[in-house]
């Protein structure tokens, strides 16, 4: 079965990982219009006010990890 996930934030990639774990042989494509994948949007206010130094600190996994380790076609 083929799946397309719209949005590469934490919720979208959680959905992709659930499919990866529970649907053997699934073909998963994830599409994100921005350039950051698998990040916690709820942390953005802390980046703006300086408590967190960079949006890079909000990223759980990068695009290459999803592609190479989990066979998820992560597109930006």
Catalogue the active-site residues.
42
- Contact of 30 with 8, CB cutoff 8 Å: yes
List of residues 6+ apart from 37 with CB closer than 8 A: 8, 13, 30, 59, 61, 62, 63, 66, 74, 76
């Amino acid at each position: 079965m083929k799946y397309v996930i719209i949005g590469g934030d934490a919720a979208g990639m959680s959905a992709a990982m659930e499919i990866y774990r529970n649907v053997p042989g699934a073909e998963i494509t994830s599409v994100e219009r921005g350039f950051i994948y698998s990040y916690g949007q709820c942390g953005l206010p802390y980046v703006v006010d300086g408590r967190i130094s960079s949006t890079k600190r909000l990223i759980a996994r990068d695009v290459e990890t999803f592609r190479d380790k989990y066979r998820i076609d992560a597109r930006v």
